[in-house]
Amino acid sequence: MRILIIFCLFLLCNPIQAAEPVTAELLSEPFRESYQPEVKVSGNVIVGVMSGAAQAALREDRLGVHVDSAMAGTEVCVRATSNDGIYQSRNHYRLPAATDQAHLPYASGMGDVLGGFGPRGLAVAVASGDCETTAAGTFLVAGALDEDADTPVTIFVNGFGATDVFVATGDGTDLEPCEYIDEGRRTTYDFYCTLASVPAGPRSVTIVRERFGREQPEISLKLIGLGE
């Protein structure tokens, strides 16, 4: 009986904690970010794949992704790019084993800079592969830890002079128009596409661009949502 009471007291003193997110290994040393007026525009059409909370999560070091069994242990590149191109970061991580939420430590020394961007002022992309190869076609939706899995996902697109940008899911026949960003500077991306939600399993998405009616090369990507 005494043992039972002690066991009960032990349980009372140690309430069951929520599962802690597993932290990915940051491979970039030192942490690579820059804030420079000399803007360099990269050639990436897809600049960000993220939930609405990812921008704040970056600032608060609460950036999280869902890791499925296919992505477990692989390397990803986390890029953060401001709309005016002045702030850029590019860091390399190794994902942990499959988990509902993995924490990507974001050791920024520019919290004040990150706090100064507007709602669509900063794009975050977590792409498979290392940061030297930019041909990644798989993106993990960047979100905040403990974020709702069915939150809408925004894809930030550099149209490179496109007059129209569309997003298509599934077989690519049903095109949804993306929105042109008509506020502020648009140096690194000028369109954003919104998806209602993205499931944890890979989902095929196609970005279609038109320049005065003429179709530009399509961009196909696979998205891994925030969780089950």
The residues that touch another protein, with contacts defined as CB under 8 A, are 37-39, 41, 43, 84, 86, 160-161, 163-164, 180, 182, 185-187, 210-215
CA distance 143 to 174: 26
CA distance 9 to 197: 43
Q: For the chain, give percent helix, strand, coil, nearest 5.
A: 10, 40, 50
How far apart are CB 151 and another protein at their closest, in Å? 24
Nearer to another protein, 145 or 178 (CB): 178
Nearer to another protein, 186 or 222 (CB): 186
How far apart are CB 73 and another protein at their closest, in Å? 36
Residue 212 has phi, psi (to 5 degrees) of 50, 45
Nearer to another protein, 36 or 133 (CB): 36
How far apart are CB 164 and another protein at their closest, in Å? 7
Nearer to another protein, 90 or 209 (CB): 209
How far apart are CB 222 and another protein at their closest, in Å? 25
Strands (E), 137-181: 138-140, 143-144, 153-157, 164-169, 175-177, 179-180
Instruction: Say if residues 64 and 101 touch (Cβ distance below 8 Å).
Output: yes
